[in-house]
Structure 1
């Protein structure tokens, strides 16, 4: 039987049919591996603890956490720890692409979103779900009750990547619906013009919301393992072109790196957490990036 750590591998997760089990295995596998990572006690963002600072009551120190991490943490009260989260999932047809990985970009994003929903609900943090293509397809308001997890997982299980997308437009449409300061987690391959997307994200940040941008690409889109003459098809327009893969490989890799660098730079300038992922990576990398960048903000 696979260990919890093995469940962090996309090729193993692919064989777990039930989304609730996927989410649980990813979260439990991630948490079980924390002791071996440099992020000792890094589940504090979801464990109602924060670092001890001058002025805190020593009575609030959690000595069990100290024994495990050799650091002082104090217990946080419910009012201090609740954060409202929204998972925004891109339904563009390009998200359904995979070359040789077990999970498509969409399936990888769904698994990661399910895990984050599982984590937040079990921490009693409200979380909602938004799916979009050229318009908003699903908007599930954020709630913290246990039944919310089942609702989110049911919607994620039914969602399918089809057609073109308008990431910037979806963000503009959703922003007015969020009345309280929230954490917005966007999952997309972002294979669109960055400028309108960043303009919409700037508006969301200006409204006081936190944003985490999960840039999810297929391994082949990052490494371009093709050679010779290949036929490439745009999944959203069905346009097909034949190319000399070997001749264009360097230009492609430079262009892809430039795109990722641009997103990263713009996000840093706006105080947005940018998490680049490809579908060959274990889920703990994505979650550690998520938690480490969240922790650095406080």
Structure 2
């Protein structure tokens, strides 16, 4: 991967790009340029319209131009094979606005990631839609694959603000009632709420036939707890403030974060959902690889 492309996968660099459409473009192009060095070698070729030749395929369908470039056999995908309908679900909880020392808040990081995924899906001619929610669904765009859809999604993401309490589980149920066709649900949240109702809602989505990727986005400080001395902490949803000795609670705090993520990971694994642990210091390609893994598993 070239350094010029790689740098746009770093949150501290993408923060300096003002426009969301350019952020999405730079993240995706930086990611694709590095796939040759990853397990997804060749995906930039089959990114939108090809898949590997396999037993049972008709040799007449081999794309010899692609073979000339890659020395690998690919066949054209048919429309029925390629389309995957995706929905980006963005949590507008006030806690998503938190940042300690990173360039991007959890919300800004999630917005950039969602924009990049929308960019990828539209490029692949996959229908993609968006829902933003807090205690209720605040805005939604039905899934479409036309090029203008990207602009609609980016405009809504640009206007969204994390401002209050959230009801993740209830809104996942509302999503299921609104979108009856099977889809790929991509949730962006810090999940700072009671886990059991959310886990039950994830199970419900899987039983209804939806694929699910949970992007669990925490601030780097929430994951590593770099504090010392007496610190003011605030309960993320209620806003209640408490003063604590950082050294005295560090071990218990880190264990609680680990336990929360393990609980979600175990529950997601049990129903075939993907749980992606992210923090705001991580490069965006970790999440994009998870998306590609899910996509390839479907075909």
Q: How would you bin the TM-score normalised by the shorter chain?
A: over 0.9
Q: Secondary structure at the match of 2:187?
A: strand
Tell me what 1:55 maps to.
56
Pairwise CA distance, 1:45? 7.0
Distance change (3 Å), C-alpha of 1:199 and 1:69: farther
Distance change (3 Å), C-alpha of 1:99 and 1:200: same
Tell me what 1:252 maps to.
253
Structure 1, 284-293 or 255-264: larger mean CA deviation: 284-293
Tell me what 1:95 maps to.
96
Decide whether the 8 Å contact of 2:192 with 2:236 is kept in 1.
no
Tell me what 1:192 maps to.
193
Separation in 2, partners of 1:89, 1:171: 11
Pairwise CA distance, 1:43? 4.6
Tell me what 1:19 maps to.
20
Pairwise CA distance, 1:209? 0.9
Tell me what 1:158 maps to.
159
Tell me what 2:174 maps to.
173
Tell me what 1:114 maps to.
115
Q: Secondary structure at the match of 1:53?
A: coil
Distance change (3 Å), C-alpha of 1:63 and 1:256: farther
Decide whether the 8 Å contact of 2:48 with 2:125 is kept in 1.
no
Tell me what 1:262 maps to.
263
Aligned pairs for 1:203-242 (under 5 A) are 203-242=204-243
Tell me what 1:275 maps to.
276
Instruction: Tell me whether 1:29 sits opposite 2:30 in the alignment.
Output: yes
Give runs of ≥4 in structure 1 deviating > 6 Å: none
Tell me what 2:293 maps to.
292
Q: Secondary structure at the match of 1:248?
A: helix
Q: For 1:129-160, what per-residue CA distance to the aligned partner results, in whole angstroms no more than 9, with x for missing partners? A: 00000100011111111111111011000000
Q: What is the TM-score normalised by the length of structure 1? A: 0.95
Decide whether the 8 Å contact of 1:40 with 1:69 is kept in 2.
no
Pairwise CA distance, 1:61? 2.5
Decide whether the 8 Å contact of 1:275 with 1:290 is kept in 2.
no
Q: Secondary structure at the match of 1:256?
A: helix
Gaps of 5+ in 1: none
Separation in 2, partners of 1:250, 1:5: 35
Decide whether the 8 Å contact of 1:42 with 1:292 is kept in 2.
no
Distance change (3 Å), C-alpha of 1:66 and 1:220: farther
Gaps of 5+ in 2: none
Separation in 2, partners of 1:186, 1:45: 26
Pairwise CA distance, 1:46? 3.8
Pairwise CA distance, 1:79? 2.1
Pairwise CA distance, 1:62? 3.4
Distance change (3 Å), C-alpha of 1:250 and 1:7: same
Q: For 1:5-31, what per-residue CA distance to the aligned partner results, in whole angstroms no more than 9, with x for missing partners? A: 111110011011110000000010000
Q: What is the TM-score normalised by the length of structure 2? A: 0.94
Separation in 2, partners of 1:251, 1:178: 40
